[in-house]
Amino acid sequence: MRSKLKNKKFVRNRIWSFGLVLAVLLFSFIGTLLQPQPVFAAIGQTAWKTQALNSDSPVIMAFDCNGGNLLVLGISVYFDPHAGGAPTYNGVEMTASPEGTVEAGFGSVVEMWYLVNPASGENTISISNTNNSDVVPIASAWSGVDTGDPLDTSNSDSNTGSANPSVQVTTTAANGLVIDMLMDGYGTVPTGNSHTLISSQENGGWTSNAQYTTSQSPAGNITLDWTVPSDNWAMIVCAFNVDIPQNNGPSQDPDILHPDILPKTGADLY
């Protein structure tokens, strides 16, 4: 009789312990589901603008970023690179892409510049041009960019006589902004482009062009290209990182599943 009672108590304790373990695991699982998850922002275009060829010193263009946290400025130049220093927005100097000034033979010049957290409202883009070169700017503004670490990568290429310009970059993060600037010596605008068009403009014997994508996934190699007959061309591609806000919500207690605090099994009660 004593043995039977002990066995019943043993079974009851085992059942109780097993149920308690399940309850703890279920509580932990529910807590994980309720914990705030990281929010992945998406990059969006908030504004863009271009203007006709201009050889003033400086070249001036009014522009409103419409709440964007990144301003990208592509500059195409005919004949000689503009001289006099970095462009500014609302008096703040912009940062040059690592590609610097890209040239191809006679008259094809392109640059790309950027500025994080640009001033709100309509302000002036000022491009120094002390040598009075022919300049065409294409400005675009973007939201959802990682302003702490904006630039992912860049690349460029040029040619003194080939068709269909293209440049490949290798991104390290998905869903960033990949954007280009092309100066092409052919007299009419390209008839095709691989991604979303920002602008293509004829400038009296040459063209200025820009396109972008924000939907590359996964990260890796991506090529931006244009369909246009053979001529001189220069092209830059830059990739900018999407903002991934940190999850600042309450963290999971690492001890909740620690083996030292799990209820003991029935076998351990004796």
Does pLDDT of 19 surpass 60?
A: no
DSSP three-state, residue 29: helix
Q: In what order do the strands lie in the sheet with 122-127?
A: 59-64, 122-127, 88-89, 92-93
Residue of 93, 94, 88, 82 lying closest to 124 (CA atoms): 88
Give pLDDT tens digits for 36-92. Answer: 555 556 999 999 999 999 999 999 999 999 999 999 999 999 988 888 899 999 999
DSSP three-state, residue 27: helix
Beta carbons within 8 Å of 57's beta carbon, 6+ residues apart: 84, 128, 129, 130, 131, 132
So where are the chain's domains? Answer: 1-37, 44-240
* Confidence grade of residue 23 (pLDDT, cut at 50, 70, 90): low
Q: How much is the pTM?
A: 0.78
Beta carbons within 8 Å of 38's beta carbon, 6+ residues apart: 244, 245, 246, 247
Mean pLDDT of 238-242: 98
Q: What's the 3-state SS for 227-246?
A: ECCCEEEEEEEEEECECCCC
Q: What is the DSSP letter of 104?
A: E
